[in-house]
Amino acid sequence: MTTVTRRGETVELGGELPAVGSQAPDFRLTRADLSDVSLADYAGKRKVLSIVPSLDTPTCAMSLRQFNQKAAAMDNTVVLNISADLPFAMARFCETEGIDQVESLSLMRDRAFASDYGVLQLTGPMAGITARAVIVLDTDNTVLYTELVPEIRQEPDYDAAIEALQGG
């Protein structure tokens, strides 16, 4: 079983991150306008999946801001911020913060993403939502890079994700 920590306490996760070189599992997530999307909606684009527990935390908010600045400006690339937050809350946060280069997607209707991508917290006070991870996909949804952040309260390695994008 995969584990991470939150404030030093072990948190068990369900599943494993997709392996580098493998095909990313399809998903069904919900946009701010309440429409559902899947990987097919981003066909032909490189994708950064920035998976966070909730935008309502300082670290998650910082991740969103960083990817809005760093990765979203890259050609043929979409940054998807994925969390258990409701689409309304995500849209309000992005509008307030001036986040316009990242698309926020919610697990609201289908939590299978969290299990399929190996980020579902099974234990701890935030059981049922996602751990923090970054997954970079090429235009054909092949996994180029993964990072499961070992301490949920830490930021991911933005530079490594950007480097994977530049190489893919």
From the candidates 4, 24, 55, 60, give the one annotated as an active-site residue.
Answer: 60
Per-residue CA distances from 24 to 21, 47, 60, 103 (Å): 9, 11, 23, 18
Question: What does the block give as tokens for 52?
Answer: 């966070």
94 belongs to the catalytic site: no
Distance CA 106, CA 113 (A): 10
Residues 147 and 160 sit within 8 Å (Cβ to Cβ): yes
Q: Which residues are catalytic?
A: 60
